[in-house]
Every structure is written in C-alpha cells, then in structure tokens.
Amino acid sequence: MRGLALPRSPKVILGLGILGFFIVLTVVGPWLAPYNPSSTAFTALLTPSSHHWLGTTSLGQDIFSQLLVGARATMVVALVAGLVATLLSMTIGISAGYLGGVPDDGLTLLSNVFLAIPGVPLLIVIDSYLPVNSRSNEFVIGLIISLTGWAWGARVLRAQTMSLRNRDFVEAARIIGESRRRIMFSEIAPNLLPVLASSLLFTVLYSIGAYVTLAYIGLTSTATWNWGTMLYWAQANNAPLSNEWYWFVPPGICIALVGTGLALVNFGIDEFINPRLRAAGLTARQRRQLGLARRPRLGVTPVLRTASSRQPTGVVAK
C-alpha cells in the first residue's frame, strides 16, 4: 500500500492553498457575511463602496454577502456529487476490472453509454422534471449530478484494476480465501488511492460546472444562494450589458479559482501516478549550481565545464 505523498511543486502548493481558502470560506462564509443576502433593504444598484464591497443588486441586495453565503451551497453540492460519483466509479470500475467476464462486459457497456450521453443536457432534462422543492435541495441536485458524472472515473479505475488483478498481493489474498468483496475493497482499492483521488477531484470539478450551469439557466431554486444563481440574477437583470461587473464577475472568478485549485492539485497527482511527468532531472536551482546555461535538451547531454574540480561526494552543494 502506498500513501499519497504529493510532489511538493509550486503548482501543487498553489492549488492546495486555493482549495484551502475556499474550504474555509465554505465553513465560515455565511457567518462572515455582513448582511442577509436576500434582504432588499438597501438602495438598488450601488457601486462598490466601503459599506457594500461589491455593491448591490437591482433589488438592493448586498452582493458581497451573496458571494460569501453562496460559497457553501456551491461547494456542498460539488462535494456531495463528487463523493457519490467517485463511490459509484469505484464500485463499478473495480468490480468490472476484477470480476471480468460477463459482469465486466455489462458494466463496461453501462459506463460507455453514460460516457456517450452528453451529461449537462441530460441533467437539464432530469432537472426540469423535478418538483420545485427538490430543486432547492442541494443533496438531491448533488445526487443527480453524480449520476451523470461517474462513468469516466469507472473507466479509468477498471483499467487500473485490471493491471493489479494478477499482482502477487491479490493472488495471495485469493489463496488465503478472502471474499471477493474484501479483495476488491480492502486489497485493490487502497492501491488505487492516487487514481481515486484524481477521479474525485475531476468529478468535483465537473459537478461545480454542472451545478453552476443548472443554476445559471434557472433550474435550481432561485431562492437558494449559490454562485450560479448570482450569475442567473445578474444575467436576468442585464448586469453584463449595463457594465455592472461587480455583480457577475466575482462569482465567475470564484468558480474558476476553485476549478483551478482542483486542477492544479490534480496535476500533482498525475505527476505522482506518472513519474515521467515529474520534473525530471535537474531543477532550475541545480542547474544554476552547476553553471549550466540552459535546460538539458533531449539528445544533447549537458557537459560540465568545471568538471575536473568536482568530487563525487556532493562538494558542489556547499
């Protein structure tokens, strides 16, 4: 079993920093909000000021409060959808990869069908039939999103499971007579941790996109504050064309930042899974130490000019 020690590249640190910030915001956002986001007590369409950092909407609501409160619903849906989808991918992908034969054919076909159906249009259809009280429930929305988002992860996990199926430790577990379920979820799954993590980040990313899209076209309850509904109201009131950037730009930037954070951490996991992606060889600092002017290129192995004075015990490091 190998743990998940992420490479400490600046990309990963930046990503974790961004994610950390938004996770904190999810928890404390609603308490930090200076006003009730639905309160229409203020003058409409104020520009940003010290009282209203991001101005007010055409109904006189405080935009900054909406942004802070909206973080929670957005992140909760994304997380619920991501977790459920990853659980589905894991169950279906590992079963297909480990069991093989007819179950594999059936499950692979199922995931291929779900992969081929465009997810967001399907979501829109399903969601448009939902009663209004379900639409305002983040958990229902998250579950439906997860239904359209598990297939990719299942495919990747199936391939990875097949490569593990005949490894010694799985063989050993079989000989001891452990049950199939135990082998799949106690022996194989822990070894797929990096792939699972990557799959989780990917589905969370997809879920944010899907949820915000649904909210933006008005298919979630417009009374629940999330970044998508903010964009919906901004669009509905023609904020973009009226140059009220402070209304629609902040939620968009927040969505993109969360996505960037997820993708950057995923970069680190990719580097963990595929060693070739890791900064191969010489870091920029090592290159400077060695006095190499440029990055080594394939087919031109660099030559140290100060070769004769070097000792093989790392004297250069000093």
Partner 1 sequence: MRIVARRLGLYLLTAWVAVTANFILPRLMPGNPVQTLIGKITSQVTPAEIRAIRLSFGMGFKQGIIAQYFTYLGQLFHGNLGVSITLGSPVSSILRESVPWTIGLIGISTIISFALGTLAGALLGWTRGSRFDSMIPTATFFQAVPYFFLGTVMLLVFGSNLHWFPVLGAYSQSATPGWNWTFIASVLRYGELPVISIVLSSVAGWMLGMRNMMITMIGEDFVLMAVAKGLPRRKVIAHAARNAVLPSIANLSLAIGLVVSGALLVELVFNYPGVGDLLLQAVLNEDYPLIQGIFLVITLTVLAANLIADVVYLVLDPRTRSEAAV
Partner 2 sequence: MSATIPREHEPTEVVDVATSAVATGVARHEPVLEIEGFSVDYGAGASMVRAVDEVTLRLDRSRVLGIAGESGSGKSTLVYAMTRLLRAPGLISGGRVLLHTTDDDGVVTPVNLVEASESELRKVRWSHVSIVLQSALSALNPVLRIGREFDEVLKTHRKDMTKAQRRARAVELLRLVGLTEDRLDRYPHELSGGQRQRVMIAVALALDPELVIMDEPTTALDVVTQREIISELATLRARFGFAMIFITHDLSLLVELADEIAVMYAGSIVERAGARELYEAPRHPYTLGLLHSFPPLHGERRELTGIPGSPPDLADPPAGCRFAPRCTFAMARCLTERPTLREFGDEGRSVACWLFDPASASRVPVELSLAPSARQTVGEP
Q: Are 195 and 157 in contact (CB under 8 A)?
A: yes
- Does the footprint of partner 1 cover residue 252 (CB under 8 A)? yes
Separation CA 136–CA 224 (nearest Å): 6
DSSP 188: I
- Does the footprint of partner 1 cover residue 11 (CB under 8 A)? yes
Secondary structure class of 100 (helix, strand, coil) = coil
Closest CA to 73 of 25, 112, 107: 25
- Does the footprint of partner 2 cover residue 316 (CB under 8 A)? yes
Separation CA 63–CA 65 (nearest Å): 5
Q: Are 44 and 57 in contact (CB under 8 A)?
A: yes
CB atoms within 10 A of CB 232: 22
Separation CA 216–CA 112 (nearest Å): 28
240 burial level (CB within 10 Å; 0-12, 13-18, 19+): middle
Please state the φ and ψ torsions of residue 297, each to the nearest 5 degrees.
-105, 150
264 interacts with, out of partner 1, partner 2, none, CB within 5 to 8 A per kind:
partner 1
> Per-residue x/- marks for partner 1, 143-172, CB under 8 A?
---------x--------------------
**13 versus 292: smaller Cβ distance to partner 2:** 292
CB of 75 to partner 1, least distance (A): 14
CB atoms within 10 A of CB 203: 28
Secondary structure class of 56 (helix, strand, coil) = strand
CB of 187 to partner 1, least distance (A): 28
Separation CA 45–CA 57 (nearest Å): 5
**196 versus 262: smaller Cβ distance to partner 1:** 262
Report in angstroms the alpha-carbon separations of 282 from 13, 90, 290, 291. Answer: 20, 37, 10, 12
- Does the footprint of partner 1 cover residue 295 (CB under 8 A)? yes
54 interacts with, out of partner 1, partner 2, none, CB within 5 to 8 A per kind:
none
> Per-residue x/- marks for partner 2, 292-311, CB under 8 A?
x---xxxxxxxxx--xx-x-
93 interacts with, out of partner 1, partner 2, none, CB within 5 to 8 A per kind:
none
119 interacts with, out of partner 2, partner 1, none, CB within 5 to 8 A per kind:
partner 1
231 interacts with, out of partner 2, partner 1, none, CB within 5 to 8 A per kind:
partner 1
Structure tokens given for 102: 């007819």
Please select the residue that binds partner 1; options are 218, 292, 302, 316, rule is CB under 8 A. Answer: 218
Which range in 79-87, 160-168, 186-194, 273-281 contacts partner 1 by CB under 8 A?
A: 273-281
**38 versus 274: smaller Cβ distance to partner 1:** 274
**51 versus 278: smaller Cβ distance to partner 1:** 278
Structure tokens given for 278: 């890791």
Closest CA to 86 of 197, 9, 170, 213: 197
Structure tokens given for 79: 């997380």
**95 versus 220: smaller Cβ distance to partner 1:** 220
293 interacts with, out of partner 2, partner 1, none, CB within 5 to 8 A per kind:
none
> Per-residue x/- marks for partner 2, 250-289, CB under 8 A?
------------------------------xxx---xx-x
23 interacts with, out of partner 2, partner 1, none, CB within 5 to 8 A per kind:
none
Write out the residues near partner 2 by the rule CB under 8 A: 280-282, 286-287, 289-290, 292, 296-304, 307-308, 310, 312, 314, 316-317
